[in-house]
Amino acid sequence: MSSMRRPLTMLVPAVALVLATSGAAVATTQDRGQPAVTEAWSAAMQRPSAGFEPNWSETGFSDQSVRQVVRVTAAGSQVRIRLSNQYGGSPLKVAGATIARAGQGAAVSPGTLRHLTFGGGARSVVVPAGGEVVSDLAGLRVKPLESLTVTLYLPETTGPATTHLQGYATSYRASGDRRADTGGAAFEQGESTHSWYYLSGVEVSGAPVRRDTVVAIGDSITDGFGSGNDANTRYPDQLAARLSAAGLSRPVLNAGIGGGMVLSDSAWYGEKVGTRLDRDVLDNPRVGTLIVLAGLNDIGFSEVDLPTFKPNPDRSVAELIAGHRAIIKRAHAQGIEVIGGTLLPMEGAEYHTAESADKIHRLNQWIRTSGEYDAVVDFNKAVADPQNPERLRSAFDSGDHKHPNAAGYRAMADAFELDDLS
């Protein structure tokens, strides 16, 4: 189904960085972009947590370099990064940062490493507790679907680190200052995890600026659980690749958080969609389309019962519809089109019950038929087993009967009408 685009409201916050007497740049207010800058990659930030696999967020870093690999979805001739200390208990000192095109493993492509500066030329920066900074723009030509490495040198003990837990991309750390290393040996001989730390965005400049960014918000299915590490096969990744192949390349950003909910903040995983909607979607003046796939965890478990995932019968479909309506209303107020995604089937999953299945049916019926979304993408139909629509098709099942695998995420990306993203 085609969408009717609403009038666009451009909201562009100002830059606010000042130089401290030490020569390090210090952020005084949050910066979410300038008119000539487009966000090419982002991650929704979370508080430190043990998560489902080992990560460094609770212990943090001390005299270590962290190299992280991300894939951008927008082109430009200049780049900059955003660093978040949203959940930090003290100021974060970053003694230096570099960016480069990614090579094999932790290595970078020869001749592409750039030292980043902050606040008009300082190599180091202090990120206030609860704050965010952006670097200055650096000359580096990048293409859509190209991977970049960002390396941070953290000379002092950081304490617990603001993170994105389920990055499904290898992040490396090594002792000492390794930001200028073009080879990957020091990092590959060190430690690695599949989370991101402090890095909340990569932005590009030098290309035509349009309001055509697509943001996908949701839970672990949007986040890409089951897609595999370092594969870039989450459904938003594969949607970006599909758009590029069709000659419709545009930024596609992933604002999924595993375990996230519509109606409840989670001490384990992060704030509910409504709590983080401004930060992760609405404050970005380039967003033209929002995709919402959310509600399965509200139906599936209660926060107090984590990590047992006991079925939670307390959240009604009426409450979930009200939560979806609030998201739609806030996005429309910013001139953003909103696409509603139907919830996936989950028979065989740990918190599937007859009651949870009924709630999925009723919420999906509202998403499909209410007309309150500008368009609908029927993820449920795309991945359901034709012989038993209550289950994921076996070829699309990652193994837990709830999260798709890479092929399932491809089917989800293929379910979009590309006209709804124009």
As a dihedral over the C-alpha atoms of residue 317, residue 318, residue 323, residue 327, rounded to 10 degrees, the angle is: 100
**Domains in the chain, please, with CATH?**
17-203 (no CATH), 210-421 (3.40.50.1110)
- pLDDT of the residue at 183: 98
Whole-number Å distance between alpha carbons of 42 and 34: 16
Q: Is 76 helix (H, G, I), strand (E, B) or coil?
A: strand
Q: How far apart are CA 343 and CA 346, in angstroms?
A: 9
Cα separation, 201 vs 64, in Å, equals 21
Cα radius of gyration rounded to whole Å, the chain: 21
Directed axis angle between helix 406-414 and helix 235-245, to 10°?
A: 50
Contact 92, 126 (CB under 8 A): yes
Report helix, strand or coil for 170. coil
Do 234 and 224 form a contact (C-beta atoms < 8 A)?
A: yes
Separation of alpha carbons 72 and 202, rounded Å: 8
Closest to 196 in 3D by CA, of 92, 82, 307, 27: 82
Q: For residue 198, give the 3-state DSSP assignment.
A: coil
With contact defined as beta carbons under 8 Å apart, do 203 and 82 qualify? yes
Could you identify the residue written with the tokens 């599936």?
A: 300
Peptide bond into 208 cis (omega under 30): no
Euclidean distance between CA atoms 409 and 46, whole angstroms: 24
| b/e 258-270 (16+ beta carbons within 10 angstroms → b) | bbbbbbbebebbb
d(CA 217, CA 223): 9
Residue 34, CB-side half-sphere exposure with 13 Å CA sphere: 15
User: Would you state the pLDDT for residue 313?
Assistant: 55
CA 313/CA 319 separation, integer angstroms: 12
Phi-psi region of 240 (alpha: psi -120 to 50; beta: other; left: phi over 0): alpha
* Inter-residue contact 172 to 187 (CB < 8 Å): yes
Q: What pLDDT, on a 0 to 100 scale, did the predictor assign at position 65?
A: 98
Q: What is the mean pLDDT of each run of 10 residues along the chain (422 residues)?
A: 36 34 40 70 95 92 98 97 97 98 98 97 97 97 97 98 97 98 97 98 92 97 97 98 95 96 83 96 97 93 53 79 98 98 95 91 98 98 98 98 98 96 76
In order, the DSSP letters of 41-59 are EE---B-----SS--STTT
Strands 138-142 and 76-84: antiparallel
The pLDDT of residue 51 is 79
The token duo for 60 is 């943090």
Nearest to 132 by CA among 13, 212, 36: 13
